[in-house]
Structure 1
Amino acid sequence: MRRRPRGMIGRIALVLFAALLLELLGNIALHRWQDRELISSQELARVAETLVSADRAAAAAPRADRARIMHQLDRPGMALNWVPRTVITDFTESLDHLIETRAALVRAAPALAARPLRLTILPSPQKGQRDLVGAKPLADGSFVTFRVTPYLASPPSAALITLAHLLLIAAVLTVALLMTRALVRPLRDLAEAADASGRGKPTTFASEGPHEVRRVAAAFAAMQSRLLKMVEDHSQALVAVSHDLRTPIQRMQLRAALLADPEMRDMMTGDLIEMERFIGSILAYVRDDEVEAARLVDVAAIVTTAVDNATDAGAGISYRGPDTLAVSTRPIALKRVLNNLIDNAMRHASAIEVSLEESGPGFTVTVEDDGPGIPADRRAEMLLPFRRMEGARSPHSGGAGLGLAISCKAVAAMGGTLELDTSRLNGLAVIIRL
């Protein structure tokens, strides 16, 4: 059973080791490919036997006859000669192939070890080949020279070698990237789970990967569970209190209707209506509706319907955008957000403009008004619950300070963003990107 390193450091070391090992094996393969042998071990053994025979024949013959006798020992693939002196330089110590070849010759004929062979490699008359050229020292200082054809394949061109090395680098990088991707996948899953939890979509994921990542995942899961439980408890408590308040409010409304003083009756009725609206806003903010499935809808029709409804209610509102725009989104949630923002603008402004634009695979809806707006340094704060701009917005507009917070929460649940800016009408601009 294979065991992988448990920790992050061990797995990173494994990735580095695998990349280096692949690089080493690849370089060895390239080296072998550049110096491909064209001679078999059996042929080398015959070369060794021929050299031993040539050594004996040259030693027994007069110097004047040695060259002729060597030519008589020629055979296919091997030419011999005798020279009193040689210009052949030994490259055995600098070329691995020559080291291996000399060792193979000595193994085949141990007598060759008495005086070291001089070996080198020269281009062959045959295209695409290289020959083994050598000199066998004799006892009197002369040499038996030989040439074995073919010995090695010609080295590939520089361009081909460069291409081979680039392919090797690409292979090493591909393997390293695949292993690194598998290494960071648990971290990516954890990040996606944290992002989903931040958007109000808590999710579970498999706790796998290095030991450190599993510990972080377990801690995150425990924290998420505690936070969800805490939010659920607070929401249930707030909903319960809001529901319980409605009964005494209804009793107070009945008592207010019985008051003889019309002015006092109207004041109390107005306060009770504001309390009723406040409770409704709280319930709308904390309720946990079933998640709506996204589907392909005509967003332009949804936006224009909201604008038409506001026009029927007496608002000075206009629409700017395409007649149709088919996008996949959550239509019911989008309607609630638009109605909420338009209703908010109607309470604080006299002119409203709603625009729709296509943006890549999604769309952007902007609700602008000519109201007092919100200062730039307080816009982020106004997206939080129970925040009101009574000094800047109408002091008699009512509301619980939850309109923008409800819209921002709903847009985030849909996977979008809600931003506040200054409108072209010098009021507030609410920009929704989905």
Structure 2
Amino acid sequence: MTEGLTRGTTRRDGETHDGEQLLVGLMSGTSLDGISAAVVGFREVDGRVYGSLKHFVQRPYSGEARTRLAAAMHEGSAREFCRLHADLGMWLGDVAREAMQEAGVHPAQVRAIASHGQTLWHEPGHSTWQIGDAARIAELTGCAVLSDFRTRDMAVGGQGAPLVPMADQLLFAHDTEWRALQNIGGIGNVTLVPPRAASAQEPVRAFDTGPGVVMVDGVTQRLYGQPFDRDASIASSGRVLTPVLQALLDLPYLHEAPPKSTGRELFTPAFIDDFVTRCREAGGADADVVATATAYTAATIADQYTRWLPVVPHDVVVSGGGARNPFLLHCLTGAFAWHGERYGKRVPTVQHFDDLFFDAEAKEAVAFALLGYLHLIGRPGNVPSATGARAPRVLGALTPVAQSVLS
């Protein structure tokens, strides 16, 4: 994928001169870092979808916005939920507009904006809730908006997550080897994709591996008053409390077979408080608590690969905020080596997504742009082998652009 799009390369019908369709993907993840927007061009050749990243922007949440979103995930009134839904729609629309302006793209040149919104509650097997008013995004940007991507999968028995596997399969597979794409956002999730050369019958496997940086950020905020452990400066100065880490590998979620998904509904403030207490009882200082939380994320990823992946991947391509944490990646490499030695399996190579494709921070926004594109061409966006759905479905709900904008 390549960067760069200059004004005038795109017609007003949303098609570039090389036949690409332009979409904007919007993402706000469980880590609550901020909003990501990606301007992406898609085209289909001989049944294969190709994507080209044109421009990408990120806007961090203000302290107030982050506090409101975090609080709403665990408590809140109908009034606050309603107001936050509307406010987030404005924030999302504003970032989408910024991305289009910086890319030199007029709203009329964009087929649609595909917005994931922000998950407030996700209850596998029952329901899911993403906020961020699509109507306000449409009015602010002058573009059609696709949103509410998860509910259709859940309506046919799926988990509603993970949805990024479709992009992992179509855009990021290895030509000849099995590849694991590991996102470490607030929650960790993996997609195991077969090589492009494999039989079309080979299913994609994907599920949430457990915590991403939700626990690392949680203990860092409690103990140091910082939003996250920048450059792992705290964790790298501490020691890993192995008994605490091993005890938490008995977490029931880790013993559940895929398809499965989780979120902040499991890793709550109370869960994090209990983790800190366990570390204190084991004699841990503040830095040890952060180091153990970081190592625990790595340990859960390696544990889940050993338990549930049918093959050892050739490489593990890491993205998300956790990929910026050098201590976490050090622990991850060590955890894979330990599991490989213990079970007599090869050890996968850990690689940065950035080194193979583009800025990893853009990956999920690109993925939802792809889901929007698939909606527009009438192709399913879910991967039933990953979500557990009974059947593939076209995902998303369309909020059309106003006729006054089209005229």
Asked which structure has the greater RCO (Cα within 8 Å, sep 6+), the reply is 2
Q: TM-score, normalised by structure 1?
A: 0.19
Larger radius of gyration: 1
TM-score, normalised relative to structure 2: 0.20
- Greater share of residues in helix: 1
